Amino acid sequence: MHGDLKLTIEYDADVPCVVMNWKGYATSAAFREGNARVLTEITDRRASKLLGDVSDFVLIGVEDQAWLSEVWIPRAMHAGLRKIALVQPTFYFNRVAIDTVAQKLDRDRVEVGFFDNASAAKDWLKG
């Protein structure tokens, strides 16, 4: 990966869900490449649930917010994604960016929840 970005993608069979954990700063290219890997995991696992821990992620630029809304999320929903649990960013501007993307979602087709920690997020996904 590029720069200070650390992205881990796992599968939690207990929930079950795909877990992505972003830390640090991502260039636009790294952000899109990472999300492509997440999408592959969702598709391969036929996962309907995603836990995104973005609490230590630094910033999502406006163009990448639009790309997430217009390109990535429709693809993920097409792959079967129905529930997204997000562990809230500690940085205020990231929280705003995440909220902006979440507000554009079709809530009839995908549910989004915001949490302060991963265990609360997992409990909600199991529910």
What is the model's pLDDT at position 4?
63
Beta-strand relationship, 83-87 and 49-57: parallel
What is the model's pLDDT at position 111?
93
Beta-strand relationship, 17-24 and 6-12: antiparallel
Domain ranges of the chain: 6-126
What is the model's pLDDT at position 95?
79
What is the model's pLDDT at position 3?
54
Tokens of 1: 């990966």
Inter-residue contact 51 to 18 (CB < 8 Å): yes
The predicted model scores a pTM of 0.89
**Cα separation, 48 vs 83, whole angstroms:** 6
What is the model's pLDDT at position 1?
46
SS3 33: helix
> Cα angle vertex 40, ends 39, 44, to 5°?
120
**Cα separation, 83 vs 86, whole angstroms:** 10
Residue 2 has pLDDT above 60, yes or no: no
SS3 110: coil
pLDDT tens digits, one per residue of 52-108: 999 998 878 889 999 999 999 999 999 999 999 999 887 777 778 888 888 888 878
Express as a percent the part of the chain with pLDDT over 70.
96
What is the model's pLDDT at position 107?
77
Tell whether domain 6-126 is in CATH 3.40.50.720: no
Residue 118 has pLDDT above 70, yes or no: yes
Q: Which sign does the torsion angle of CA 23, 9, 38, 120 carry?
A: negative
